[in-house]
Structure 1
Amino acid sequence: MARPVPLAVAAALLLSPWSAAMAEAPHPGRYVEPNTLVPEGVVRYAPSGFPDRIVAVPLQDAATGFSVSWRTAAAVDAPMLEIAVAKESPDQWDGDAPPRQVRAQTRALAAGNGVAHHHHAVVDGLQPGTLYAWRVQGDRTWSPWRQLRTAAPAGTPFEFLYIGDTQNKNASLVTRVMHEAVRHAPAADLVLFAGDLVSEAVDDDEWGEWFDATSALSPTMAFAPAPGNHEFFEEFEDTPQERRVLGEQWKAHFALPGNGAAGVEQTTYWFDYQGVRFAVIDGTSALDLDAGPAQAAWLEDVLAGNPHRWSIVLIHQPFYSPRANRDNRELREYLQPVLEKHAVDLVLQGHDHVYGRRSSEQGVPPVYTVSVAGPKQYRLSGDARRSMSPVGEDTQLFQVLRLDGNRLSYEARTVTGRLYDAFALVDGGDAGKRLEERLEGRIGERLCGRSQTLGGRADRCWE
């Protein structure tokens, strides 16, 4: 017999926006959590005179600069960014000379929390491998000073992060992933996001929570995001004119290098960072908007002109999907031949909300990985269990990568910090690159132990 609910608790539930979901739960405390922590009718993320959603993105040559985006209320037009070489003293002025000022370009965007002004500033002409202090302006105020190090010359060791889909319940459940990632990669200056940052492309509360969740990273790291299908929305849905359209929030929140493929310049780009050429592909446009051939031609040029010994491609949708009933054939048709022709080292992916790694039988690049940081968890296909190793379900993850000389190492860790997957690519010069497995310290494969989600879905492990 179920234990009666105390009157005070029952009254609170009647006033709660979660009460209906909780009433359907198998017992108190087990419910389908809302996608944001913002109750209906509450304004949590209205723009103000104080700068927020501050994020830096590498320039094409990350050794010489980065671009910065931030948001304010509509009263702020063309504010300044200030930057100086970081010093031990709180005085960031060099003698009587003030920090360099860079004026931003401003665009307005009307969203669910009101009209905001989004600002983009390009900071170029910087010195390689140098720590800079910088801040951005609002309405009679400034942000706190932040610190970011430009990329050092090729050959200098460095570490960076790769994060799979965040997408859902960012404030509630993704925040802890970011804090744990900082614990394991304290020296990282760069983080790659594999798309589906939010669930609804135009939901301003979701974007506010994404920036809150990633606030452990943004003051000291440059962000390199790939667009996912959830950064798009369906225009004219359920009509013959239905089409995917890139959300305005993506364009407003990230000032990308602007060197992308024809027709998809706002979602594809490349940059060089400390001996690695990174290329970011738009899988959604390749699959749904016929942009595969244009991206393949662009990627050919980007990789053919790579002067470095390492290359990494970031894309949302996997070339080999580990989830059942998904097959991204167009990616393998148009883009995979370019990856394999140029022996790209790593292809970092998301979308399928499980973990999986796949490489050739010879153990040479490319190595394809799929990961997920957010709480929405799918189930593996039978083919993935046969063709990928390791695989994983029901696990929030982050990845730490380190490049040191001829060795590029990779670690996938759970949100509690335990090692889940680890390997290294070792460049043997004329002998080529080889994959070295690291088994020591890894926990066993995790598979879903639930028959269905709290919402009753048998095709997922968690909502």
Structure 2
Amino acid sequence: MDDEVRRAGEVLMRYRIALLPLAAGLALSGTLAAHAQAESGPIPRSPGLPYAPKNLPDRIVLSPGADPAREMAVAYRTDTAQAESQAQLAVSVDGPTLEEKAVLVTGKAMPVASSYGPALYHQIRFTGLAPDTVYAYRVKGAAGWSEWYQFRTAAAEAKPFRFLYLGDIQNGILTYASRVIRQAFHANGDIRLVVHAGDLVAQRDDLDHDDEWGEWNQAGSYNYAIVPQVPATGNHEYVDVLKADGSESRKLGPYWPAQFALPSNGADPVKATTYYTDYQGVRFIVLDGTAAIDLGTMKAQTDWLDATLASSKANWNVVLFHQPVFTCARPNDTQEIKAAWKPVFEKRKVDLVLQGHDHCYSRLTSDAGREASAKARADGKVQGPVYLVSVTGSKMYALNDRAATQPDKVAEATELYQIVDVEPRRIKFRTFTASGKLYDGFDLDRTAQGNRLSEIDEPTIAARRCSGEIGPDGGRCVARGK
């Protein structure tokens, strides 16, 4: 075990941090010392070391194309014995004869080194598909094929559908977040998309990186292979590096571009992490807040966002990214994003803005505050965009001072999932707790003047906030100050 831990640290060292030789006598800065200390200790591992690559496919994740009525894509992992990326695809039939009319589809493989040793991630794109059709596919490892998985392509026109919105999974991925994801699928039939607001994993030193991605895949299991995933990057999808001049920077971790076969229609500097997909009357636009704030891509993303919204012919426009415009835990809003993107959202009349990062829950429709928002609804005024922040994993932050008066609804120390039902002229948004209790909800109705928001009259549970050291479930408060 000690040797495995040592090898894990060596592999992680190679891609997480690039310490350059320092001139003799040069003192390490506090930041460098912290990095060195973090890297010198053993990285925790998943019990039993269960995630080694094998000769059969695993980590199978379906993604939508830019036009998911006609294109889907799949990514999966094998050991290095399976050098070719191969899938079989067929229009689904109701008898056990799928292989008779299946066609072979090939793709590309990319190596990823990890604490478990080398692996190959494969990506295959299914193109030329028929709209609103059920297909079956399986993928190949050196020892044979996976089981058959089924997916339905989107309809070519606007048509009602349901999607699932998840906040940060990040911590307690298998221990806690898995139950939330499984509850969402168990309690809500025919989910057609899953959108993730970033920080799918922690990718720091809480757990070995490969173990984290193994737990993330196990948490969603076969649901990730049959329901297209629409993920945004968070800051934890990036890893810290040191530049030649000794300054800190970030780079995208190696798992993201391997694990997700996403559309390549995003902003030029960040095509791996920005994209859009049009699904049955909704344009989902995915941005990368970390690259915008830390890596100098804000203008490129803002220009692309504006152009992508301007060209949208969808009934609804939903924007997904990690760092929230209006925070519910951090003392200050994300000013860089607020200044650059909020005016575009308002000019282009974005309907929903889905975010994570703050490890609390917030629904906000007016930066003037809760009372102003309620008055606008009572007066029948148009409202929007609606800004949402949510969390699915176990790390929790305490609510900030503004949470008492600015958002329409908040929660702390609560794991959540959101079910969104889309119709041509109405969006029904419902927020549920980990055990399936309805916590919040609203309807957005499209009128000639714009969107009108109405609070639901369905019964919801009491507001969930800590009272001193006591949490909303009666145990200790697990929400810590940010």
Q: What TM bracket, shorter-length normalisation?
A: 0.7 to 0.9
Q: Given residue 436 of structure 2, which amino acid in structure 1 is its aligned partner?
A: G
Q: Is the 8 A contact 1:66 1:124 kept in 2?
A: yes
Residues 397-437 of structure 1: CA distance to partner in whole angstroms, max 9, x if unpaired?
Answer: 00000112311110000010000111011112x23221111
Alignment partner of 1:441 out of 459, 462, 472: 459
How far is 1:240 from its partner? 3.2
Q: Helix, strand or coil: the match of 1:219?
A: helix
Q: Is the 8 A contact 1:292 1:335 kept in 2?
A: no
Residues 235-263 of structure 1: CA distance to partner in whole angstroms, max 9, x if unpaired?
Answer: 02998321011101111101110111121
What is the correspondence of 1:17-32 to structure 2 with a 5 Å cutoff?
none
Residues 126-145 of structure 1: CA distance to partner in whole angstroms, max 9, x if unpaired?
Answer: 01111111111111311111
State how far apart, in whole Å, the 2-side matches of 1:179 and 1:192 are. 15
What is the correspondence of 1:343-362 to structure 2 with a 5 Å cutoff?
343-360=349-366, 361=373, 362=376
State how far apart, in whole Å, the 2-side matches of 1:452 and 1:422 are. 26
State how far apart, in whole Å, the 1-side matches of 2:392 and 2:477 are. 21
| Partner residue in 2 for 1:416 | 435
| Partner residue in 1 for 2:6 | none
Alignment partner of 1:318 out of 308, 311, 324: 324
| Partner residue in 1 for 2:46 | 38
Structure 1 residues 238, 186: closer, same or farther in 2, change over 3 A?
Answer: farther
| Partner residue in 2 for 1:13 | none
TM-score w.r.t. length of structure 1: 0.87
How far is 1:332 from its partner? 1.1
Moved over 6 A (4+): 34-37
Alignment partner of 2:163 out of 160, 167, 186: 160
Q: Helix, strand or coil: the match of 1:395?
A: coil
How far is 1:43 from its partner? 2.7
Q: Is the 8 A contact 1:113 1:205 kept in 2?
A: no
How far is 1:44 from its partner? 1.6
Q: Helix, strand or coil: the match of 2:418?
A: strand
Q: Is the 8 A contact 1:452 1:460 kept in 2?
A: no
| Partner residue in 1 for 2:394 | 375
Alignment partner of 1:212 out of 205, 215, 218: 218
State how far apart, in whole Å, the 2-side matches of 1:462 and 1:186 are. 37
Residues 302-323 of structure 1: CA distance to partner in whole angstroms, max 9, x if unpaired?
Answer: 0000011210000111001111
Q: Is the 8 A contact 2:62 2:226 kept in 1?
A: no
Structure 1 residues 460, 158: closer, same or farther in 2, change over 3 A?
Answer: same
Q: Given residue 358 of structure 1, which amino acid in structure 2 is its aligned partner?
A: L
Q: Helix, strand or coil: the match of 1:263?
A: helix
How far is 1:36 from its partner? 7.4
Structure 1 residues 275, 231: closer, same or farther in 2, change over 3 A?
Answer: same
Q: Given residue 260 of structure 1, which amino acid in structure 2 is its aligned partner?
A: G
1:257 pairs with 2:263: yes
What is the correspondence of 1:60-75 to structure 2 with a 5 Å cutoff?
60-75=66-81
TM-score w.r.t. length of structure 2: 0.83
| Partner residue in 1 for 2:415 | 396
| Partner residue in 2 for 1:386 | 405
Identity %: 41
Q: Is the 8 A contact 1:153 1:274 kept in 2?
A: yes
| Partner residue in 2 for 1:365 | 384
State how far apart, in whole Å, the 2-side matches of 1:204 and 1:358 are. 36
Unaligned runs of 5+ in 1: 1-33
State how far apart, in whole Å, the 2-side matches of 1:239 and 1:197 are. 31
State how far apart, in whole Å, the 2-side matches of 1:401 and 1:106 are. 35
State the Cα RMSD in Å.
2.2
Q: Is the 8 A contact 1:84 1:132 kept in 2?
A: yes
| Partner residue in 1 for 2:181 | 178
State how far apart, in whole Å, the 2-side matches of 1:174 and 1:450 are. 25
Residues 8-37 of structure 1: CA distance to partner in whole angstroms, max 9, x if unpaired?
Answer: xxxxxxxxxxxxxxxxxxxxxxxxxx9977
Q: Given residue 100 of structure 1, which amino acid in structure 2 is its aligned partner?
A: V
Q: Given residue 46 of structure 2, which amino acid in structure 1 is its aligned partner?
A: V
Structure with the higher fraction of residues in helix conformation:
2
How far is 1:450 from its partner? 5.6
Unaligned runs of 5+ in 2: 1-41, 367-372, 377-381
State how far apart, in whole Å, the 2-side matches of 1:238 and 1:112 are. 26
Structure 1 residues 37, 89: closer, same or farther in 2, change over 3 A?
Answer: farther
State how far apart, in whole Å, the 1-side matches of 2:187 and 2:155 are. 21
| Partner residue in 1 for 2:190 | 187
Q: Given residue 127 of structure 2, which amino acid in structure 1 is its aligned partner?
A: D
How far is 1:175 from its partner? 1.1
